[in-house]
Amino acid sequence: MTNQVEVLRIISKLKPEVIIHAAAYTAVDECEYEQKKAFEVNSLGAFHVGIAAKNVGAKMVYISTDYVFDGDKTSPYVEEDQPNPKNVYGMSKWLGEQLVQLTLEELYVVRTSWLYGSCGKNFVKTMLKLAEQKQEIKVVDDQIGSPTYTKDLADVIMQIIGKSYGVYHVSNTGSCSWYTFAKHIFKQAGFDPYLIQPTTTEAYGALAPRPAYSVMAHKSLEKEKLEVPRRWEEAVKEFIKEELRRD
């Protein structure tokens, strides 16, 4: 992605009709000291893909994040709200949004949040591993967002393609803190939720600042008469069942 010549060569060879651009540097804390890498991948990399998409006449879906917002609201963020990221990761993704919007008209910017799924590392998998150790865990209770199952995100993206271009917020419905999320994971997997103790963002001491509130409304989906994703609790329950079956 960071090599524009290679991106143009590969996309020109493949000639896709649609590019779903999911690649990103998503290690939020690491982005704070790997700033060059964050902007090269999340901003310039997206720009390269956007240019390549335009060259072959492809539509593009750019996956972005709730972390483009500062978290100062107390009601769900709508697509028209002005981004104001608090960390390098959020800034690099917002710049990516702007660059692809300047490059390409046939574009869907899909902001999502708190992703988990069968591939790669994520919060749900981490909690399940920690649960097996049966040790007390401290989890932040003053950041509120919407956990999102990658399966549900993928389903909605496929429905968005062919609809009006623009910005879409796609997350599972409802909201919770990381602490509430963790307790729900433990309960669904049959572990003792009282092993989890709440803590504050300040006490936890993560390197990158996070938005205290990053719940997103689904106005664009509703406008296009698309079904809003199911409740986050239901999605987590299904995912954990599948994970336990896989083990």
Phi-psi region of 159 (alpha: psi -120 to 50; beta: other; left: phi over 0): alpha
Q: CB neighbours (10 Å) of residue 74?
A: 9
- Give residue for tokens 């689904």: 218
Contacts by residues 124-127 (CB-CB < 8 Å, ≥ 24 positions apart): 124/185, 124/236, 124/239, 124/240, 124/243, 125/243, 127/182, 127/185, 127/186
Active site residue 89: yes
Measuring CA to CA, how many Å separate 217 from each of 35, 167, 172, 201? 30, 12, 10, 24
Please tell me which residue in 62, 67, 77, 89 is annotated as part of the active site. Answer: 89
* Four-point Cα dihedral 224, 226, 231, 237, nearest 10: -140
Phi-psi region of 36 (alpha: psi -120 to 50; beta: other; left: phi over 0): alpha
Beta strands in the chain (DSSP E): 18-21, 59-65, 107-112, 115-116, 137-140, 144-145, 148-149, 166-169, 176-177, 196-199
Measuring CA to CA, how many Å separate 174 from each of 5, 48, 163, 233? 42, 35, 24, 8
Provide the annotated active-site residues.
Answer: 89
